[in-house]
Amino acid sequence: MSETTGNGSSGIRSLLVQHPLPDVTGLAPLSILDGDAPTVIEVADALNSPPADLFDVVDQRGALVVRSGDGGFARDALRSVLGVGGELIQSAAELGKAGQSDFYQVVDRGMDINDPNVLFSATTLPIGFHSDGNEPDWVPGYFALYCQQTASQGGESRLVDAAEAYARLLKVGEFNDLLSRDFFRDEILFGNSEHAAAMAVRSRHWPIFSEDLWGVGFTFRYTRRRLETGHERAGAPLTAKESAFLDVMDAQFATAGATFALRQGDLLIVDNRRVAHDRLPYQDGQEKRSLLRAWIRRTPLQDANA
Ligand SMILES: O=C(O)CCC(=O)C(=O)O
Ligand SMILES: [Fe+2]
């Protein structure tokens, strides 16, 4: 059980050789697919623009970096760039449901990844391409990461267009039955018995790719580990074909997209429903790498079916 694509890589390679990735003409390609870093704008310009305009750029390009340089944002400036308190940020109730309040700190918490309740993002290990959120009825439309402190080594961000990956996988044809089918999704259940977790996961299943989720458009929902442990807990471990499908998908993510280093004072904003993201492993120096994360919605209907 690994979040990376190390296992069975010769099988993946032969599948990719058998099925070289075709050009996709139906979708406007996002710039982040060209291997570019996201568009960067200066914080002064961001603060002079309505947040809605910034999110228009994110919609068009998949991601955006607001750069403040050495000065950094005050927390208030961060809130106003993101539109917190206005239309854009999720309600307090939604934050509570997602287990977050205000901004969540992404930092190495020195925990043992062998514990299934520990998230890769709370360690220095590679996370693997994923989307944020793990709820049946709510998806963060966007996430933002504000870089308070870079790592001494590594920790680069990676982004790839999941809609384009989906279109390519459809053309491969081999996995069409799996692309939109439900998979079980584990949830972190501190202090709950294995039995309770197994019962809970039975009602937690949804597809990786939805062409039009809740009438608001294409949505990608995937964290490999939650899906693998979800299937184990549901008593339906992933089959060889299902694992091969995830390997091929992860391999596609890993070969495409942008890899770039956030600088201290950068605010990265990403379309979480369209773009898959990853973070490379890192080492901390004297100061620990630290990012503040916010989950954001743009309109009430965008991220929930309520
Ligand atoms: O550490 C990072 O750069 C990204 C963290 C992340 O993806 C997450 O917390 O979900
Ligand atoms: Fe994430």
Residue 1 lies in a domain: no
pLDDT of residue 117: 77
20: confidence class by pLDDT, cuts 50, 70, 90? very low
Is residue 245 in some structural domain? yes
Q: Look at residue 3 and tell me if it is in a domain.
A: no
Mean pLDDT score of the chain: 80
Pocket test for ligand 1, best of 100, 269, 277 (most atoms within 8 A of CB): 277
Higher pLDDT, 299 or 261: 261
Kindly report the CATH number assigned to the domain that includes residue 84.
3.60.130.10
Pocket test residue of 3, 145, 278 for ligand 1, highest count of atoms within 8 A of CB: 145
In a domain, 140, yes or no: yes
- pTM comes to 0.85
Nearest CA to 36 out of 62, 66, 57, 54 is that of: 62
pLDDT tens digits, 60-74: 888 899 988 866 777
Assess contact for 261 and 132: CB atoms under 8 A: no
Report the relative pairing of strands 39-42 and 63-67 from DSSP bridges. parallel
Q: What is the atom index within ligand 1 of the atom nearest the CA of 277?
A: 7
Please give the distance, rounded to the nearest whole angstrom, from the Cα atom of residue 245 to the centre of ligand 1. Answer: 24
- As a whole number, mean pLDDT of residues 263-283 equals 93
With contact defined as beta carbons under 8 Å apart, do 103 and 183 qualify?
A: no
Question: 6 pLDDT band (50/70/90 cuts)?
Answer: very low
**How many structural domains is the chain composed of?**
1
Give the Cα-Cα-Cα angle 206, 272, 170 (nearest 5 degrees).
Answer: 55
- The answer to whether residue 9 scores a pLDDT higher than 60 is no
Q: Determine which residue's CA is closest to atom 4 belonging to ligand 1.
A: 279
**pLDDT confidence of residue 275:** 93
- What is the extent of the structural domain holding 49? 9-21+32-296
Highest mean pLDDT among 153-157, 191-195, 252-256, 294-298: 153-157
Q: In what order do the strands lie in the sheet with 157-161?
A: 258-260, 157-161, 275-279
Asked if pLDDT for residue 28 goes beyond 50, the answer is no
Is 4 within a domain? no
DSSP conformation class of 127: -
Using the mean position of ligand 2's atoms as its centre, give its distance from the Cα of residue 277 in Å.
Answer: 6
pLDDT above 90 coverage of the chain, percent: 37
Q: Which of 5-14, 26-35, 111-120, 255-264 has the lowest mean pLDDT?
A: 5-14
- Identify whether 200 is part of a domain: yes
In a domain, 2, yes or no: no
| CA distance linking residue 77 with residue 212, whole number of Å | 34
Q: How far does the centroid of ligand 2 lie from the alpha carbon of residue 18, in Å?
A: 31
Q: Indicate the top mutation candidate among 106, 120, 220, 253 to test ligand 1's pocket, ranked by most ligand atoms within 8 A of CB.
A: 106
Does residue 141 fall inside a structural domain? Answer: yes
